[in-house]
């Protein structure tokens, strides 16, 4: 299978073809995802919650991310792999460049950073040096202590306009993908229409260019709590590989997410 690239993801947006993305943290699951047509694999700092048993992503280190990125790359050598820059690994420009380099050398195709206009200089510096960037707006899990919990963002019109403006600034700075998390479905649509780069939603409605879920959520492994935007694709599927295929097919057909998986507004 030919390797997925950012240019191919961009073409999917232009042609109106949905992008299917999942998180993975090891070689075995990454291999299965790639075989079942998942377009993009995110090595998420969500590993803090689902792998390490932490209450948030804050304790995850760059060493953790480098290790898991290398594992995923070995399992899926042709996949498009994004890696999260963990908490405070991009607080200064020097740290940003040093830590992003480690992730790229471990096998990432792109790094993902959470935040808005304060990241403009970092995005420019990374892309100028050949490190592709995925931005992340809306709910920012690394900032959960500032936000006061995991709450929907951008519900007020002023907040929505500010988020759209930040998205446009990040694109202008060189970001080539944008993850939108936990925002009203109407705002997900507005941001997607305002940008030429693909948007990947998680709880951002059906009108983003793609969808991403945490693997453990979409396999129903998070028994304590299933987010509103998630769905158990293993239920009714004949095995994990079939669940990955079903997720991919439902994203590409537009069957997922349904409005019940979205936030109105």
Q: Locate tokens 């963002």: which residue?
A: 153
Question: Looking at the domain assignment, is residue 215 inside a domain?
Answer: yes
pLDDT of residue 151: 81
pLDDT digits (tens, 9 = 90+) for 124-178: 999 999 999 999 999 988 887 776 666 889 999 999 999 999 999 999 999 999 9
pLDDT of residue 12: 97
Question: Looking at the domain assignment, is residue 227 inside a domain?
Answer: yes
Q: Identify whether 156 is a catalytic site residue.
A: no
Structure tokens at 164: 């759209």
pLDDT of residue 254: 97
Owning domain of residue 22: 6-261
Straight-line distance from the first to the last Cα atom of the chain, in angstroms, rounded to the nearest whole number: 40
pLDDT digits (tens, 9 = 90+) for 211-232: 999 999 999 997 677 889 999 9
Question: Looking at the domain assignment, is residue 10 inside a domain?
Answer: yes
Structure tokens at 106: 């471990």
Question: Looking at the domain assignment, is residue 35 inside a domain?
Answer: yes
Q: Which has the closest alpha carbon to 43: 122, 131, 138, 109?
A: 109
pLDDT of residue 152: 87
pLDDT of residue 1: 63
DSSP 3-state assignment of 220? Answer: coil
Question: Looking at the domain assignment, is residue 24 inside a domain?
Answer: yes
Structure tokens at 173: 């700075």
Mean pLDDT by 10 residues, the chain (265 residues): 91 98 98 98 96 94 98 97 98 97 98 96 98 96 72 92 98 98 97 98 97 97 83 96 98 96 85
Question: Looking at the domain assignment, is residue 1 inside a domain?
Answer: no
Domain tally, the chain: 1
CA distance to 139, 152, 189, 235, per residue, from 215 (Å): 19, 21, 24, 14
* Residue 46 marked ligand-binding: yes
pLDDT of residue 265: 65
pLDDT of residue 222: 75
CATH code: domain of residue 109: 3.20.20.60
* Residue 84 marked ligand-binding: yes
Q: Locate tokens 């988020």: which residue?
A: 163
In the set 17, 156, 181, 264, the catalytic residue is 181
* Residue 45 marked ligand-binding: yes
pLDDT of residue 141: 85
């Amino acid at each position: 299978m030919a390797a997925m690239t950012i240019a191919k993801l961009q073409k999917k947006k232009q042609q109106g073809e949905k992008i299917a993305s999942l998180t993975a943290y090891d070689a075995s699951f990454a291999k299965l995802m790639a075989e079942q047509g998942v377009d993009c694999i995110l090595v998420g700092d969500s590993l803090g919650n689902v792998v390490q048993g932490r209450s948030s992503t804050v304790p995850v280190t760059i060493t953790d991310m480098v290790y898991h990125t290398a594992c995923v790359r070995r399992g899926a050598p042709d996949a498009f792999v994004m890696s999260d820059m963990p908490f405070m690994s991009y607080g200064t420009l020097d740290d940003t460049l040093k830590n992003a380099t480690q992730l790229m050398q471990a096998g990432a195709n792109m790094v993902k950073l959470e935040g808005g206009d304060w990241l403009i200089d970092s995005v420019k510096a990374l892309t100028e040096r050949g490190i592709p960037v995925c931005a992340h707006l809306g709910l920012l899990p690394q900032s959960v202590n500032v936000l006061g919990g995991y709450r929907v963002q951008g519900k007020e019109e002023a907040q929505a306009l500010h988020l759209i403006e930040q998205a446009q600034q990040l694109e202008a700075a060189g970001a080539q993908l944008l993850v939108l998390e936990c925002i009203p479905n109407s705002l997900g649509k507005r941001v997607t229409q305002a940008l030429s780069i693909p948007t990947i939603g998680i709880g951002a409605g059906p009108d983003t260019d793609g969808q991403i879920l945490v693997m453990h959520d979409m396999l129903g492994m998070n028994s304590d709590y299933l987010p509103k935007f998630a769905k158990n694709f293993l239920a009714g599927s004949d095995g994990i590989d079939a669940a990955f295929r079903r997720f991919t097919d439902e994203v590409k057909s537009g069957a997922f997410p349904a409005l019940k998986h979205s936030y109105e507004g």
